[in-house]
Structures are given as structure tokens and as C-alpha cells.
Amino acid sequence: MAYTGPRIDADVHHAWRDDAELLPYIPTRWRQAVADRQFAIGPAMMSYPHTAGVNKRLDTYPPIGGPPGSDVATMQRQLLDPHNVSRVVLGFDVGLNAAVANPYLALALVQALNDWSIDRWLSQADDRLYGALLAPTHVPEEAAAEIRRVGGHPRIAQVLLPWNSLGRPFGHPVYHPIYAAAEELGLPIAIHAGGGEVAMSTGQTAAGGVMPTRLEFHTVLPQTSQHHLLSFITHGVFERFPNLRLMLSEVGVTWVPWLLWSMDASVDELRRESDWVRRLPSEYFFERVCLTTQPLEETPQRSQLIELLEAVGGLEDVLCFASDYPHWDTDEPNYVERRLPEAWLPKVFYENARRFFGWDTELPPAATSAQAPA
Amino acid sequence: MTEIIDALVHHTWATQMELMEFMSPGWREFLGKPESLPNAGGAWNTSAFAAAGVMPALPTNPFRDPAGDKRPGTVAASGGPAGSDVELLRVQALHAPGISRAVLGFDVGALAPTHPNPWLALEVVRAANDWSIARWLSGQDNRLYGLVLVPNQLPTEAASEIRRAGAHPRMVGVLMGGNGMARPFGHPIYHPIYEAAHELGLPVVVSAGGDAPADTLSHPTAGGLPATYAEYRILGAGALMSHLVSMVAQGVFERFPGLRVVIAGAGFTWLPSVLFRFDTNFKALRREVPWLRDLPSEYVRRHVRLTAQPLDPAPVERVRRLLATVPWMADILCFASAYPNRDMVNPDAVCRLLPARHRDAVLGANAMALFRWPDRRPAPAPPASDAVGAMPSGQA
């Protein structure tokens, strides 16, 4: 029995077609230097294979040219229409473009990306398109200002922290102005996988040393997000900002039992070292956090995945479907549908994300783009 | 009665002076006589092992448990730190009925390989191994066995130390200790260590905490350094995940097909998730590691063991459900008390988590088949393979 209700896709990546499309949004102060490639629109990446544009499904290159995720029509044809998706949250190509060392250029790029996204995507007639706003994490006060500048747009759904620019886990008090602004605007925070794999990053991507292959890097990829989550508890982000919610994107889901049990087991130490840990870590987790499903771990048997997820109890209220289109390891909805317990599907595909984003009107089962207003 | 093997107990010297007896006169003079230096061993040295007035021989561990690092009552009557008194350790760690063997694996002494002076690190490690043999493995209790600590910052010297100290019959394995080169342990720089361990039939123990000392350049956590001990403790398993993934991916078990590795002190409830992620990624990315001929999880099954410590106080039924998602989990878990650490476990606690049919394996049989016991002749090591690191020609 297939799930036929509406679907929300919480992590989709959109991109600009070429520099010319983005340049008008970049302030004149920086525009010529960017156009001349004196400054790239993005950082020097570390040398993991597949970071330079081939971490995408090859079939997602739009027929009209440009990189995957840069053409609305292709996205509609490949993702929105065939998979009955009622709403997507666009999150750039994870937004590491702002992870440049120069904080002034970083701010200019973030503002340009946000303006471009609102102008070119979130103003489309297709009202299934929602987006994240990018926060410039170098200077948290500037991030707060940027959230207040564009966060009121009706199709902005969350605040994306793309780069751990200060080398501290995101719960650290230095980042708190970001959360004050996000809470004020009613926007949840999204932390995407990775974020340290750029030049001059001090927040390492793996404990124990630098990983040499993408196989190793990607296998332990959840470690950064695990630390961000724990630091939100250690530093009282959920206590200081009682309405703030957190989404962890693209780090899979099967590590949750270990981390929740381990956090709760150390609540004595947590309380001795922090004034902010007032409840069990797992209570904060179930009340405030959601995880996107992608990449849903491919256990040899479906029952292994279900047993692992059910071991913790209550995870059906935490998971939100995400395809991660057009990345190389996209999870299509029918794949997720085959893997999870049938009773979880209305929550995972729709209800959890609708509650998380605070969308209080019922969404209809998806229209196709042919039916949507032109 | 079930035979119980305790795969990791932490022993230590009472003061640095006890260790220095095993160091060369030159190094002894360098570190100083007690009271010869004002304030040394004082506020800046949190290791608490340096005698007053000498320079500390060990790197500092910046993460201390605010609730106490050690189980109350384990400090020796003589005033030495927990784990420094053979008699007390015999009474407290070997008292449970059925404990037939226990493997000693140092305490903060295991951090020595990360000392920024590689020559001092080498001398401390040699002295620690000689101290262990003389003070613990020479008739004090015939249930005690040891691990050869390796100066892994100098992998060639480390291999020599394995061949030297590992010749002692009561040395049953190798201890990597602190991460001296700040690389995941699969990195080829470390392979001479595995070559020597493989040759002698000794398993390699990778113990939690090796990425924490003040001097190492690897991080104990990803995403930034921890602000608190609790973060370090909760996420400390992450570095062990990295080392495990790295050793499999970098072909350590292809190069040394008889080698076994023990991941110690990091718990085990994270393993199913890491294995499923690893196998999934391998299907797409195996061209990065063409020397791997099996799924990563198969290497873990054949070559890797985990100590069942620490235990999280999650409901037993939930933990059992999680364990059952890896059908051979009970074949790779080994009981270890981690005495005298605060999070030490006893055999009863491990038994409660396991279905009855798995108890003998986890309490003793798995460790019996793992270490190089003097009364068990190890199978001769299969020949090392040299395919690792080569990219196939790609001629189709």
C-alpha cells in the first residue's frame, strides 16, 4: 500500500547557472574581482575527491546547460512532479561558497546568494519552492542582521549554518546572536553535514586525524553534526531560546540510539560542567530536533534498519524525509517508503516537517507543475 | 564455571620516580632529581604522576572527569594512584569468581607516544614496558598479562620495540596508546607497527583517549574542540570510529591478513551504524580503495574486536534489539573491566545485556582466541600482501 499523501522534501540543493547569473547580486565593491576570478565564489576546498562538482547525479545536468540544481524545469520534471512533492526546502549547494577566509567578502557573498535565491527561486509562481537563508557565520552579529534582513520573506523556511567558520561547535556561546535572531523570526536552524572540508578550517571533519579518502570521510561524516547537537545542549541553546528548533541534514539516522544513550549516561558530568543542562539530553532532542532521513543507511535486510531505529523509541516523530536531490546519493521517496515502517510514512513524509517548519495550513497532495499557476 | 578474561585493566606506576628507575642515566638526569626544581610537578602538571621537583615525563591529559576519574576506593593505602598497587589490584580487579586472566594496559602512561620530544617518548615507552615486565609480569600473579606500548611517533622504532618487549611470553598484545603522528591509525606511516605485531602474532589494542592529550595535533572530536569533559567523554568514541574505518579502508588487513585489532573503551552501540554507513559508501566509492576485496563489515567481523565497555544504562531490551541488527556482534565483543576507571564494568553487568547463549563467548572465549597467550601457540602469520596502495592499471 503506497503512501499517497503530500510530501515535504527538507533538503534539496539549488545552484546558479553560471557566474553571470549571480554577479548582479554581488556588490560593486567585489563584483569585478569575482568576475575576473581573482576571488572565486567559494573557498579553496580540501582535496577529497568529488568535491569539485561531480558529487552530483549525472542525469541531473539540465538539458539547457548549467550545473545540477540550476534549472527549475529540470527539478520539476525529475523531483517535484513524479514524486508527488508538495513542498521543498532549497539549501544551495550546501552554501559553502561563503566559507572564504575574508569575512567581508563572505558577507557580500552570503547576501548575494540570499538575494539571488529569493529573486530567482522563491519568487517563482511554483509555490512548492521554499528555501533556507544562508547565515554568514564569521561574525554572528552580522548573521543576526542578515536573518532579520531577509528572514521575514514568506518562503524562507529556515536558517542554514553552512560553515563552522570559528572552529567551535555551533552551540558555543559565540554563535548565540544567530539563535536569538532566528527565534525572533520563528525560523528553525539547519546544520548540514560537513562544513569543515575547506581551506583554513579549524573545526576538523573527523576526530582522530584527517581522513584521506571520501570513503572514510563520508563514513564518519556525522561526527561534526553529533558534536554540534551535543554542544547545543552543553551550552544551553535550547534553554536560552525556548522556541528554537534544530534540523540536522544529510547525516543519516542510525547513530541516534548510541548518541542519545551515551548523552543520557553522562548527564551527571554534563550538569557538573554546565549550568544549562536542566533536563535529560534526550528530552531536548525529542522536543526540539529533527533529522533528515538522507542518506538512509542501506542495511542488508530492511528489518535491521527498522530494529535499529525502533531500538531508541520515538524516532518516528523526529525524522523528516529529504531526497538530497541532485547529489550523487539521492534517496528517492519510493526508496525511503520501502525501507521504513508503513505506519511511520505520514509522519516522516509530511507531518513532522510541517510541524517543524510551523506550516499550519494543510498542504494538498502535490500538484504537478502543469497544474500549478504558470 | 565460565572462564572470564578481563581484556583491559589499567595499571600504573605510583610516582614518576618508579618509572625513572627503568630509564637511562642520561634521561634520569635530564628529568631531574626530586626537589631539584622549584614548583615542577605543581600547578602546570595535571598528570599528578610527576614527583615534586622533577619535570613531567608524560604529556598532560586536558580532560578530567569532574565526578572523579577513578572508581572511589581504588587509591592505594600507600597513597599511590588507582591501579598502582599490585596487591590492591589483585583484590579489587581479580576477585570475581572465574577470572582467569587479565590484560594490563597502562593508564595515562599510554599517552607517552604523543610527547612532543620523540626521543623522550621513546625512552618513556621502553621504560614503561620494562617496568611492566619487572613489577607486574614476573611472578606477582599468574593471571596477569601485559601489552607492549609502542612509541608510534617513530614507527620503525616502534616495530623494534614490539620485537624486543614482545618477545616476553607474558606480553599478549600491542598497545597503540596516544596518537603520535596525529593521523588516523590506518595511515601507511603506521604500517611498520602492524607488520611487527603481525609477525609476532600480537593483536593491536587501540584504546580510547589517544587523541586527547595536550600535545597531539589530531582532535578528540570533529566540528571543533570540546568545551567540557562531558563532550569529550560522550563523543570520544568518534576518534575510535575514525581509526577503525581508517584501518579497514587503508588496507591494513589486506597487507597483514593475520592481524587483529581491539577497539577498547569506546562502547559498542555505535558499531551497527558505522558498519551500515561504511558498507553503503563502499558500494559507491570502492575505486578509492581497490585493494579491498570484501565489504568493510567483513573485515571488521574477521579482524576487529571491541571491548564491551563502557556500558550505557539504556534499557536492556533496547540494547539487545540494537545488538541483534549485526548477527555476529557477540563474536566480536570482549569483556573488559577498565578497572579502576569510574566507568568500569563487571561481568554481571555485561551478562545482563547478552542472551545466555552469547555469554561464554563475550566473557572469555573471544579473548581466548584473540591474544597471544603463552599456553596457546598462535597460528603462523599468513604472508603479508603488498597490493595495498597500488591503483590497478585499468586495462579492460
Q: Cβ of A207 and B233 within 8 Å? A: no
* Strand A319-320 relative to strand A289-292, pairing: parallel
**Residue-level pLDDT at B396:** 46
Whether the CA torsion A26, A30, A33, A37 is positive or negative: it is negative
Q: In Å, how far are A149, A151, A152, A243 from A145, measured between CA atoms?
A: 6, 10, 12, 19
Intervals of chain B under pLDDT 70: 1, 35, 37-52, 394-396
Query: Which has the higher per-residue pLDDT, A189 or A201?
Result: A189
- In this predicted structure, the answer to whether residue A123 has a pLDDT above a threshold of 90 is yes
- In this predicted structure, the answer to whether residue A35 has a pLDDT above a threshold of 60 is yes
* The B144-149 sheet, strands edge to edge: B4-9, B99-104, B144-149, B171-175, B204-207, B261-264, B304-307, B333-334
One DSSP character per residue, B189-247 reads: GGHHHHHHHHHHT--EEEETTTT-STT-SS-SSSSS--SSHHHHHHHTHHHHHHHHHHH
Å between B313 CA and nearest CA of chain A:
6
∠ CA B301-B302-B306, rounded to 5°: 55
Chain A interface test: which of B216, B217, B243, B322 (most A C-beta within 10 Å): B322
- Give contacts of B230 with chain A, Cβ < 8 Å: 234, 266, 269-270, 272-274
**Residue-level pLDDT at B312:** 84
Nearest to B226 by CA among A223, A365, A89: A223
pLDDT tens sequence across A301-315: 999 999 999 999 999
Q: Cβ of B246 and A207 within 8 Å? A: no
∠ CA A156-A13-A149, rounded to 5°: 25
Instruction: Quote the CA–CA distance of B56 and B45 in Å, as a whole number.
Output: 7
My answer on whether omega of the bond before A295 falls inside 30° of 0, hence cis, is yes
Largest CA distance in chain A: 59
Instruction: Quote the CA–CA distance of B151 and B127 in Å, as a whole number.
Output: 11
- Give contacts of A231 with chain B, Cβ < 8 Å: 224, 227, 231
SS3 of residue A187 by DSSP:
coil
Helix (H) or strand (E) holding A374: none
B310 touching A, CB under 8 A? yes
Mean pLDDT of A256-270: 96
Find cell 621537583 and name the residue. B53
CATH 3.40.190.10 is right for the domain spanning B4-30+63-368: no
Per-domain boundaries in chain A = 7-357
Grid cell at residue B241: 570510529
Instruction: Quote the CA–CA distance of B272 and A307 in Å, as a whole number.
Output: 11
pLDDT tens sequence across B47-92: 555 566 778 889 888 888 998 889 999 998 888 899 999 999 999 9
SS3 of residue B313 by DSSP:
coil
Q: Cβ of A169 and B229 within 8 Å? A: no
Residue B239 neighbours by CB under 8 Å, 6+ apart:
A207, A208, B179, B208, B210, B211, B218, B219, B220, B221
Q: Cβ of B67 and A269 within 8 Å? A: yes
My answer on whether omega of the bond before B340 falls inside 30° of 0, hence cis, is yes
> Which residues of B, range 181-220, sit inside 8 Å of A by Cβ?
182-187, 211, 218-220
ipTM given for this complex: 0.90
Instruction: Quote the CA–CA distance of B278 and B326 in Å, as a whole number.
Output: 14
Å between B229 CA and nearest CA of chain A:
7
- Option in B231, B278, B318 nearest A313 (CB): B318
Instruction: Quote the CA–CA distance of B184 and B191 in Å, as a whole number.
Output: 12
Nearest to A248 by CA among A136, A171, A146, A337: A171
CATH number of A7-357: 3.20.20.140
SS3 of residue A74 by DSSP:
helix
Helix (H) or strand (E) holding B307: strand B304-307
**Residue-level pLDDT at B60:** 84
